[in-house]
Structure 1
Amino acid sequence: MSKGIYTLSVLLAVVFCKTVNGDIEDIVKELSLKLSESQVKEDTTFIPGEQWAQQKGAYPSHVMLNFVGDIEQQILRNYGRFYDNNAFVTLWVTVMQLEAALLPGGPDVGEEQLSLALDAIHSYHDRNRQTDSSILVFWPQKLDKSTGVWVCDAANIGAVAVDEKIMSEVMVWLLKDIGLVNDSEALKEFTQTIQDSINEFHIPADADDTFVNIGLGGLLEKSKYKTSYSKWQQDNPNIVIPIKAGSEYSYQPLGTDIDNSLIDPRSYFYLRNFLYKKQNQSNSIALPTTWMVSFSENAKLVDKKVRMPFNLNNVDLTVSANVLYGITAAALSNWTLGTLDGQMYSDIVDMLIYELSHNFTNRPDLALTYYPSKFVFFWFTSRTLQLLKAASLSRKLPFSRMDDALYDLESYLRSNFTDALLKEAIHDESVAYYDDFLGGDDKDIFGKPVNHAEDRIFSTAMAANTLLYTWRDGTDLSGQTPLLVSTTIQQLCSWLEKHVLSGEYKPHNVFFSGSVKDSYLDMTFFYPTNYQYWLNGTKLPPDFEVTFYNSIHSAIGMFGMEDANWYYEELQKEHFGQKTPTDFHGYNSDLFAFWSSDELTYSATMLALTQCQYLFH
């Protein structure tokens, strides 16, 4: 498409849809101000029934439970929420603020706001490493003096979950104005779910926060915030360490080392067809894992209260997308990176495209292990395309594997993926929006179905950002952008402009969860396995029963690869009394804990509107 035809398509879009109006600049400013005001200015400690522990410099997020149904369930979902301090939200809010600030006319963040955030982020560097390795954890760490090991400590929900008296005080505090009685069955279920979850909070360092932090450094390097960039460099003196660690902890199913070849059987289930395809093309495969710890290291840490869930690593597509972006940002920076792990880099790209084109093997709950929102994954993936495309316009990419990645990502995301995403848009006269699942299966006071669309703002913003990052060449839209794409983007921004601050919809999201969203679908041991051992290397007995206590020192996983016939036969059998669940029933089928942040919604919307303001207004 020529430049002239592209210009005409934009003009036609202005005529045939409601375009972004003059209020957008004010809305962007208000969103920027909301983010600045919501950033925590002073540390506070947890006082049951009075105040949450809050970390200075962090942006707020809350742990909630996905209750679905009648009014009581809705109250518990929206009011029974626990403030949480974590690295992920502050990293991503800061990233999106910088992405917006880098655009022409984008909102200013300010060195003071960035400095507060960077101080908070730096506190999440894993203190169990001998040097500052720039390997991060999700929660703040607390020293266990009895073992000398730093353990992740979710201060608020952790304190609540281990003490029934504190739990009762907090629930009365949260629900005092709602009128929900303490002896309700729903409230009892809420309490039990929180108490059951505490044992999964003592997790090791993870690749997701680690590589998002690397990407943050790449954005700061390109920004005008030189003081903040200098601070980030001081906090992260050797980026080679985390990038090398990402390769060392990678999943290598064709190898024989248990530290790289043992994987969560849920990951193997959704990945197996991709792995068979790669096996026919190559004698090696390397994919990033979620946890920055090996199986052997994990076995030594279990009794020190640090462990991977189920004692197994896994492959999460969303984590992999962030690892890909972090490696790309490092390679394109002025830092000393050395060589690129071309095997893992290319395998990530191939995996992301394969799973996108095969609908996550019909199990998004397994493929998006910790990040239920597919729109989050879509945007994370499109970011690498945008980063590579923008760099390629002004320079030669430093590695040939990056040229291949650019070609493959652009070819798929700008064709089949875009077509599929556009078909999901919901059109309402001159605007459009996207829905996910939060609040989508509720009932009104008469028992009739109602969609409260509590993640509609967030989903719409992330879908808009995905389309924009897929079709932008640098700061401008590609001259090849189809009319339907540019029109839909403007319709999405028009909807966001109207609703983000209207109060009509909640600004909630489901940016994070545990790996188990449905206890009948997502337990590791319901899937075919060929490795069933105690952590000391002793084989589990034939009559082994899975309980919480004996699962702490055992691992039931997939080692290496088995052929397709073996796997098919295993799928026909029961595993620990349960047939392997092969169908996904949606995220509203069972109760599970999730993390939500209004600030993530506001920053995502601010980013989308800033781009629309520049491109179309």
Structure 2
Amino acid sequence: MMLLHKTLLFVICLASCYSDATQPIDQVMEKLIKLISEEQILKPVKFKLPVWEKQLGLYRSEIRLDFFDKPYEAELRKNKFIYVFDNNMFATGWISTVLLEANMYGRAPQTIDTEHLSLAFDAIEKFHDHNQNESAVPLMTFWSQIYNATTNTWESAPDNLRYLITDLDKNLLIIEDILKTLGVKNIAQLIDKLRTSSASFKDVFEIPPDFDDTYLNIGFGVQLKLLQDKYPSLFQRWVQTNSNMKKLIDLTLQYAYRPSSQLLDQNTIDPRTYFWLRDFVRDNPQAIIVTTWAQNIAEVRKVAHQGIRMPFNLNNVDVTVGANVLYGITSAMVYDLLDFKTYFTKDMETLYFSTASLIAWSIKNSMKNRPDLAQVYYPSHYNFLWYGSRTLFLLELTRRQQKSLPDVFNRVYALLADVYRNDVVKYFKEHVRSDLSSYDDFLGANDTNIFGKAEPTGEDRIFSTAQTVNVLLASFAYLDANTGKLKWINGSKQIEIVQTMTNRSVSWLLNNSFKYQSFNCFFSGSVKGFNQLPFWYPANTYQYLNGTTFDPNRFDINNQSLVDTIVGVSGYINETIYQHMIEEKHFNVSTPTTFNGYNVPGGEFPFWSSQPYTYSVTLLALAQYNNLDK
């Protein structure tokens, strides 16, 4: 009788605990959905300081400056009034994607209705590259383009930054008056830093299309295809402007990095990129690696002065871009998006495998201790890991459904399964905070109080913790086609550890999702201080845009500009020779060989943050956890 009594108490406790646990998760998800919805622009706004331009349908995204350390400097980073609203495709593309996935793979209230999804869709559609001479090419830009009648070209423009800097002195006076009215302290320091930073901001106005936004759009298109029953008109509208898959593949290969090629356009890369991945290039000489920009040297020579140029006139490799492209290709192949399979050539197979191999190699080798160069535009390591894990999740689903794909997809599955189910788990173990539940990236990590004592503020803690959950679920769970539930993958040595880590982090999110700043660093400028300028790294190609070469040892950097030069690495440099080059000075500056973190004196940099992006990935983590077949 006593045993029966205890058993009944245990069962009642379990039922009670389950009931208590599920109610908060529903409440938190409903609040997250509401907060995300409130951050979508439902009425367009024109620029007139202190009012920022806001494009209809986009979600909130802000440009901030990564000041840190003393309280007044940290305040310049996180103050709710000190930012520039930014109209970009990337944040809205990911938020829309995540809202749909929270219902596709998770159990949550409806995350977005047709009306609001249509608004986001229409906004994203405006980010197509209008300089293409063929129709329906799904090549996308980070910022929407404006037409320049003088040059007869479409230029990508961060509108609010452009407006701000066009009449900088007048606008800074307005900002100063606003801040005084609001009672913001240390205004002089802020104005001085803004004035100093404005010169570097000008360089971001002229970028060409990129492959991370492009393949984000491809993944979004696949979602719309799969959800045609729910959103019947959107996929057909997407097809009308994105159907040219052959051209997309041609462009992806045209601008890829091929270190063994004899062509300058294919074998030349940013010296910072070569510095961190040269061992990979040595071991994989026939690799074809996806790059960031849809532009090459021949093109930048022609159009640089028309307002379309890669930063520093050279392409680079960012592993986060690679992870986005990898998922876009995978989803397009798995669901045969507009005959994508038909155009998947041998070179595309090589690019797919090379890019996946680089991602796996980078994780195993800790980015060769240079995450600042490997993730040159996307510093958030947790975000990068999630982007990569999405491909593993999709390939796991494909294998269980026994879909037929080229063998290269099995090889990529093996690579990603190994690194995500071993090395990434180890990374999380080593970087979990003392509470064994939450994770920090770097925003606010080096702040101090008025006494100079370390006082981290955890501004990206919600984002990093949510993305950790999303990575673990994508790496160790699969969607059961029969039940619609997520199930843990059996047989992994790590599964019990992963389950414990996931439970703890979800519990933390339920208790803390609204207690910290909801910042993230989903994007940044490529230069984060003096040491990240590409000119200080070894190179073997020194040219002006007109094609003539120059001697860097005779270049007077104090009186000559490097703006219209090409300083890069062509082909592969023997490592013994390269080591000697590292020991030399370049433009009279020593090679920066170490990375001391993002929060270093003189290393302040602009970063892009989006509160609704943080809320959406948190919603995804909770929705998927809520759908786990525990």
TM-score bracket, normalised by the shorter chain, equals over 0.9
Does the CA-based 8 Å contact 1:98-1:220 persist in structure 2? no
Output the CA distance in 2 between the equivalents of 1:270 and 1:440: 25
Indicate the SS of the match to 1:453: coil
* 1:234-249 superposed matches below 5 A: 234-249=240-255
**Equivalent of 2:540, from 522, 530, 541?**
530
Q: Secondary structure at the match of 1:585?
A: coil
The equivalent position to 1:539 in structure 2, one of 540, 549, 552, is: 549
**Separation (CA, whole Å) in 2 of partners of 1:364 and 1:76:** 25
User: In the TM superposition, what is the alpha-carbon distance from 1:462 to its structure 2 partner?
Assistant: 0.8
CA distance in 2, matches of 1:548, 1:35: 50
In structure 1, give the amino acid aligned to 2:613. Answer: L
Structure 1 residue 70 corresponds to structure 2 residue 70: yes
Please tell me whether residue 573 in structure 1 is matched to residue 584 in structure 2. yes
Question: Which runs of 5 or more residues in structure 2 are unaligned?
Answer: 1-10, 480-485
Q: CA deviation at 1:616?
A: 6.3
Q: Write the deviation string for residues 472-515 of structure 1: whole angstroms up to 9, x where unpaired.
A: 122322123511101110111111111112xx310001110011
1:336 and 2:336 are equivalent in the alignment: no
Instruction: Verify: 1:583 aligned to 2:562, yes or no.
Output: no
In structure 2, the residue matched to 1:345 is 352
Distance 2:183 2:519 in 1: 20
Q: Which residue in the other structure is 2:421 paired with?
A: 414
> Which digits, 9 at most, give the CA deviation of each residue in 1:395-453, with x for residues without a partner?
3332111111112211221123222323322252xx60001110111121222221111
8 Å contact kept, 1:264–1:314: yes
Residue 272 of structure 1 is matched in structure 2 by 278
> How far apart are the structure 1 equivalents of 2:172 and 2:247?
41
SS across alignment from 2:577: helix
Q: Residue 22 in 1 paired to residue 23 in 2?
A: yes
Write the distance in 2 (CA, Å) between the matches of 1:452 and 1:477.
Answer: 34
User: Does the C-alpha gap of structure 1 residues 35 and 69 become closer, same or farther in structure 2, counting only changes over 3 Å?
Assistant: same
Q: TM-score, normalization: structure 1? A: 0.93
After superposition, give the CA deviation of every residue in 1:49-101 in whole Å (9 maximum; x if it has no partner).
Answer: 2x110010000110000011222212211232110000000000011111111
* Cα distance in 2 for residues equivalent to 1:83 and 1:32: 21
Q: Residues 180 and 313 of structure 1: is their aligned pair in 2 closer, same or farther, counting only changes over 3 Å?
A: same
Conservation of the 8 A alpha-carbon contact between 1:439 and 1:452: yes
Matched, 1:252 2:255: no
How far residue 549 of structure 1 moved from its aligned partner, in angstroms, is 7.3
Rounded Cα–Cα distance in structure 2 between residues aligned with 1:552 and 1:450: 40
Tell me by how many angstroms 1:294 deviates: 1.4
User: What SS does the aligned partner of 2:35 have?
Assistant: helix
Q: 1:545 to 1:476 in 2, by over 3 A?
A: farther
Contact 1:111–1:227 (8 Å) recurs in 2: no
Supply the distance in 1 between the matched residues of 2:604 and 2:559 (Cα, whole angstroms): 19
1:399 and 2:410 correspond: no
**Which amino acid is 1:229 matched to?**
F
Q: Which amino acid aligns with 2:41?
A: V
1:69 aligned partner, one-letter code: D
Residue of structure 2 equivalent to 1:7: none
Instruction: Map 1:3-402; keep pairs closer than 5 Å.
Output: 20-49=21-50, 51-79=51-79, 80-108=82-110, 109-130=112-133, 131-163=135-167, 164-174=169-179, 176-182=181-187, 184-223=188-227, 224-279=230-285, 284-334=286-336, 335-337=338-340, 338-340=342-344, 341-402=348-409
For normalisation by structure 2, the TM-score amounts to 0.91
Does the residue aligned with 1:594 lie in a helix, a strand or coil?
Answer: strand
**Superposed counterparts of 1:423-434, under 5 Å:** 423-428=430-435, 432-434=437-439
Change (3 A) 1:22 1:528: same
Cα separation, 2, equivalents of 1:476 and 1:217: 26
The answer to whether the Cα contact below 8 Å between 1:203 and 1:309 also exists between their aligned partners in 2 is yes
Question: Equivalent residue of 2:316, what SS?
Answer: coil
Cα RMSD over matched residues?
A: 2.0
- Which of 451, 459, 471 is the aligned partner of 2:456? 451
Worse-superposed segment, 170-179 or 559-568: 170-179
The CA distance in 1 between the partners of 2:113 and 2:378, in whole Å, is 30
Aligned to 1:605: 618
Partner of residue 464 from structure 1, selected from 457, 461, 469: 469
For 1:421, the aligned partner's letter is: F
Note closer, same or farther for the CA distance 1:231–1:241 as it changes in structure 2 (3 Å cut): same
Q: Is the contact made by 2:44 and 2:56 (CA closer than 8 Å) also made in structure 1?
A: yes
Task: Determine the C-alpha separation between the residues in 1 that align with 2:88 and 2:559.
Answer: 26
Any residues of structure 2 matched to 1:453-492 within 5 Å, and which? Answer: 453-474=458-479, 475-480=486-491, 482-492=495-505
Amino acid of the structure 2 residue aligned with 1:253: P
Q: Is the CA contact (8 Å cut-off) linking 2:137 and 2:241 kept in structure 1?
A: no
Q: Which moved more, 1:413-422 or 1:206-215?
A: 413-422
Contact 1:288 1:320 in 2 (8 A): yes
Q: Deviations over 1:161-215 (max 9, x none)?
A: 2321113213433563133354x23430233213431222210000110011001
Kindly, what percent of the aligned residue pairs are identical?
A: 33
CA deviation after TM superposition for structure 1 residue 225, in Å: 2.5
Letter in 2 for 1:83: F
SS of match in other structure, 2:568: strand
Shift of 1:20: 4.7
Q: Secondary structure at the match of 1:214?
A: helix
The number of aligned residues is 593
